[in-house]
């Protein structure tokens, strides 16, 4: 089971802040493909990966990062702190 967290417009497009998922996906990119097939709102949120960032267990990661052993995955737009 993986906890998926969504922030900012990703959260708004998907319509929820977090959910728990059982997945056989090997990488973040594979999981995204799985989500996009699920419903239109996921397809809309993940339409352009260049506009997205991913954190794997609270560390920034690449989309080809493996999911084995991962507990928490977060998707969000580029950060705007400061």
Partner 1 sequence: MQIRVQADPFDYGAECAAFAARAAGPGSGAGAVVTFLGLVRDDGGRLSRMEIEHYPGMTEKALSAIATEAAGRWPLSEVLILHRFGPLAPGDAIMMVGTASRHRAAAFQAADFLMDYLKSRAPFWKKEFAADGAEWVAAKDEDETALGRW
Helix (H, G, I), strand (E, B) or coil at 58: coil
Sole binder of partner 1 in the list 32, 35, 54, 74 (CB under 8 A): 74
Closest Cα to residue 10, out of 37, 47, 59, 57? 47
Binding status of residue 82 toward partner 1 by CB under 8 A: yes
Compare residues 69 and 82 and give the one whose CB is closer to partner 1: 82
* Whole-Å CA distances, 80 to 2, 39, 76: 26, 28, 11
Considering only residues 3 through 62, tell me which ones interact with partner 1, judged by CB under 8 A: 5, 7-9, 11, 55, 58-60
Rule CB under 8 A: which residues touch partner 1?
5, 7-9, 11, 55, 58-60, 74, 76-82
């Amino acid at each position: 089971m993986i906890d998926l967290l969504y922030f900012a417009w990703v959260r708004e497009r998907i319509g929820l802040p977090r959910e728990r998922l059982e997945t056989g996906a090997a990488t973040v990119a594979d999981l995204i493909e799985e989500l996009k097939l699920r419903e239109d709102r996921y397809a809309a949120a993940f339409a352009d990966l260049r506009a997205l960032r991913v954190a794997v267990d609270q560390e920034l990661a690449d989309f080809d990062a493996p999911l084995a052993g991962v507990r928490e995955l977060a998707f969000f737009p580029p950060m705007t702190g400061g």
